[in-house]
Amino acid sequence: MPIAAHLQACHYPCALARAATNQSLAIPRMSRRYSRPGRAMRHAIKHVQGVVLNRILSMRLLVSLSLALLLGLTQPPAFAAGQDAEATAAAEPAVPDPLKRETPRSMVSGLLGALGQSDYDRTALYFDLPPATSSRQRTNAVEQARAFHAVLDDGGTLDTFITLSNDPNGKVSDDLPVDQERVGEIAIQDKKIPVLLTKGQDGEHQVWRVSRETLTQITAATKRAPVVTEPAADQVVVAGAPLKDWALLLGLGVLVFGGLWMLSALIVFCMRKLVPDPEANGLYRFFEAALPPVSLLIAVGVFYNWAEQLPVSIVARQTLLRYTGIVSVIALVWFGLRLVDAISELAIARMQRSQRRQVISVITLARRAAKVILLAFSCIAILSTFGIDVTTGIAALGIGGIALALGAQKTVENLVGSVTVIADRPMQVGDFIKVGDVVGTVEDVGIRSTRIRTNERTVVTIPNGDLSARQIENYAARDRFLFNPVVAIAYGNSSAKLKEAIFIVQQVLAEEKNMAEGHRARLGSISERAFNIEVFSHIDVHEFDTQVIIREKLLLTIFERLEAADISLAFPTQTIVFSPSQLDAVRGGPAAAGDASETDKTADAVTPASPAVWTGTTPPPRT
């Protein structure tokens, strides 16, 4: 019962109760003689009446709220039950059509399967015909199925498997109505009849079937030009088609491909004889790689064109055309693989001539990656030709690829580092470099790491990810070598000799033909032990061994000319002051006698920086 009805029902008895109470509590009029006691009684009665009315109103409100609460608690479960029922109904999977007529592709595949088994009762179920309720209707449907099979064998064509739509709605981009789909054509004499499918309801399923319009046109055309609907008794039938039809189609394919392959081989042979250096010729390498798979691809196209014009069984023709699509995929992948090999080998040969071994590693990696991608696409195309849905598999591979990339971050980092090192080219194989604390010659730049041969003849392997982030000092990239020796002239030389020494050094630098411009030799400083002539110049050669020879020649020439000019070079010296007793101790004699207050005698002993050789038994004491 609605809430308003309950409230009305509750309100109505309360009004009756109020009226009854008012009537029951009504006091008859008293005489004036009892007016004062009567007035007091009336006030008491009114007070009791108000209390009772308040109680009744409170009870009415409580009852109304209780009823509303009960109704609110009982209604949502029913609503939730309705939702559960709808969810259960939606969750139940739809029963697929047993004849697989949901899409144009699956419908044509099922129709060919029925025709291949000569099951014309099942074939009639692929026609848009009313249900057969009598034997006569069933016989007519079977005859239409036979006639349809015959006209397809005689001159009919159906679209290939890969071109048929696999969408339940068909191709929406054609000019046909949304419930129609064109899947082929039948030629009877000079008349061409399109094979149309129409979408309709068959029980609980939305299915595609051969339209009534197509069946009517075929029936009318076969009446004017009858076709043979019964196969010959002596025919050998294999997989739903005569053996001679299979042999004719296969022989056509072998003949076309064999002829084109021989033609391509002849072209490659002639080019090899005409080109002077075929291995280094890019055009020859391209034709050598491309002609065999291209000949296979052209053979597939020719087979498609000729097979549709041959009067062979529609089952054999469509089956071979379906799997000829696999051959075309193989031809394309074959062409791609050979083209990748030819380009990579040509690039590797050029890199070897230019001594860029690290680029060869990248070319090898790129070639392998390209081959993997081509093979992956070919597998997807072949699986699609067999009717296998690869969408879920591709999604799973994508998720797996992300997980693999997250788990192999270092490997991916090294691969990216390899590309960075090779693209930036901070070094090449054979360069003498310094990376951090490692100094040596680069021996190999690989896909993952770089190997450096140190001066101690050890090999240090550095991952390319770390190498690309470090500071690399390349000594091999120097265009000239710094020559800045310091020529120390001894203090015993005069100022004239010092000027002559500076002139000699400048003259030696000027006479060297491999010295770069801007060289100079000046008195740079006067140290505690010598006059220092500082040389700043560059040897203008690129080879390290050559600059070593030139450096040696310059140093020897400077020394020879300074020696000829009687200018002595400074060497580290040290002056030690001895007392007479210490000097006698050094010489090994007795101590000199004399007054203690006498001034100590001194002696200068000049010793080289190398350890001194003392004649005494003990070293001299420190002062």
Question: What DSSP line would sit under 15-62, residue for residue?
Answer: HHHHHHHHHHT--PPPPGGGHHHHHHHHHHHHHHHHHHHHHHHHHHHH
- Secondary structure string (H, E, C) spanning 203-258: CCEEEEEECHHHHHHHHHHHHHCCCCCCCCCCCCEECCEEHHHHHHHHHHHHHHHH
List the CATH number of the domain containing 515: 3.30.70.100
Q: Answer yes or no: do 248 and 384 share one domain.
A: yes
CA 121 – CA 129 distance, rounded (Å)? 12
pLDDT-derived band at 218, boundaries 50, 70, 90: confident
**Domain limit, last residue, from 389, 417, 443:** 389
pLDDT band at 360 (very low <50, low <70, confident <90, very high): confident
The tens digit of pLDDT for each residue in 325-337 reads 788 888 888 888 8
- 238 has which bridge partners? 241
- Decide: 183 and 152 in contact? Cβ < 8 Å: no
Q: Which domain holds residue 146?
A: 104-230
Q: How far apart are CA 104 and CA 122, in angstroms?
A: 17
491 is a domain residue: yes
DSSP 407-454: HTHHHHHHHHHHHHHHHH-S--TT-EEEETTEEEEEEEE-SSEEEEEE
Say what the pLDDT of residue 538 is. Answer: 94
For the residues 602-615, what does the mean pLDDT come to?
40
Q: Name the CA dihedral angle for 284, 285, 291, 294, rounded to a multiple of 10 degrees.
A: -130
Q: Can you tell me whether residue 472 is helix, strand or coil?
A: strand
Predicted TM-score (pTM) of this structure: 0.51
452 touches 440 (CB < 8 A): yes
Same domain, 257 and 220: no
Q: In this structure, are 138 and 174 located in the same domain?
A: yes
Which of 418, 450, 474 terminates a domain? The answer is: 474
* Position 447 pLDDT exceeds 50: yes
pLDDT at 86 (0 to 100): 46
Whether residues 205 and 151 share a domain: the answer is yes
Do 224 and 347 share a domain, yes or no? no
DSSP code at position 91 = H
Same domain, 456 and 332: no
Amino acid at position 295, single letter:
S
| Least confident segment among 107-116, 275-284, 334-343 | 275-284
In a domain, 398, yes or no: no
The more confident residue out of 552 and 395 is 552
Residues 419 and 364 in one domain: no
Task: Give bridge partners of residue 562 from the DSSP assignment.
Answer: none
Distance CA 331, CA 302 (A): 14
Rounded CA separation 568/559 (Å): 9
Pseudo-torsion of CA 309, 310, 315, 321, nearest 10°? -60
**Side-chain-side CA neighbours of residue 578 (13 Å):** 16
- Answer whether residue 415 is part of any domain: yes
Averaged over 169-178, what is the pLDDT? 84
Q: What number of H helices and E strands is found in the chain?
A: 16, 17
Long-range contacts of 185-190 (CB under 8 A, 24+ apart): 185/156, 185/157, 186/151, 186/152, 186/155, 186/156, 186/157, 186/218, 187/155, 187/156, 188/151, 188/154, 188/155, 188/218, 188/221, 188/222, 188/225, 188/227, 189/221, 189/224, 189/225
Q: What is the mean pLDDT of the chain?
A: 76
In a domain, 397, yes or no: no
Asked if the structure places residue 267 within a domain, the reply is yes
Query: Is pLDDT of 227 > 50?
Result: yes
The DSSP 8-state label assigned to residue 486 in this structure reads E
- Identify the pLDDT of residue 49: 57
Confidence band (pLDDT; 50, 70, 90) for 88?
A: very low
What's the CA gap between 449 and 417, in Å, rounded? 9
Mean pLDDT of 286-296: 82
- For CA atoms 236, 241, 242, 247, the dihedral sign is negative
Domain end, chosen from 361, 389, 417, is at 389
pLDDT bucket at 532, cuts 50 / 70 / 90:
very high
Whose CA is closest to 346, among 370, 363, 371, 333? 363
Residue 95 has pLDDT above 50, yes or no: yes
Same domain membership, residue 485 and residue 468: no
Distances in whole angstroms, Cα of residue 502 to Cα of each of 128, 397, 556, 567: 113, 77, 16, 11
The pLDDT value given to residue 190: 74
pLDDT-derived band of residue 597, with 50, 70 and 90 as boundaries? very low
- 272-282 per-position pLDDT tens digit: 888 887 777 77
The reply to whether 459 and 506 lie within a common domain is no
Total structural domains in the chain?
6
* Whether the predicted pLDDT of 537 surpasses 90: yes
What is the pLDDT, as a whole number, of residue 616? 38
The amino acid occupying position 237 is V
Residues 325 and 430 in one domain: no
Q: Using the 8-state DSSP alphabet, how is residue 117 labeled?
A: T
What is the rounded CA–CA span in Å between residue 419 and residue 359? 9
Cα–Cα–Cα angle for 411, 413, 414, nearest 5°? Answer: 65
What's residue 448's pLDDT? Answer: 79
CATH number at residue 417: 2.30.30.60
Q: What is the pLDDT of residue 56?
A: 57
Beta strands 573-577; 604-608: pairing state? antiparallel
> Has residue 161 been placed in a domain?
yes
Asked whether residue 383 falls in the same domain as residue 275, the answer is yes
Mean pLDDT along residues 362-367: 78
Residue 325 falls inside a structural domain: yes
**Do 177 and 218 share a domain, yes or no?**
yes
Residue 63 falls inside a structural domain: yes
The more confidently predicted of residues 25 and 379 is 379
What is the enclosing helix (H) or strand (E) of 538? strand 530-539
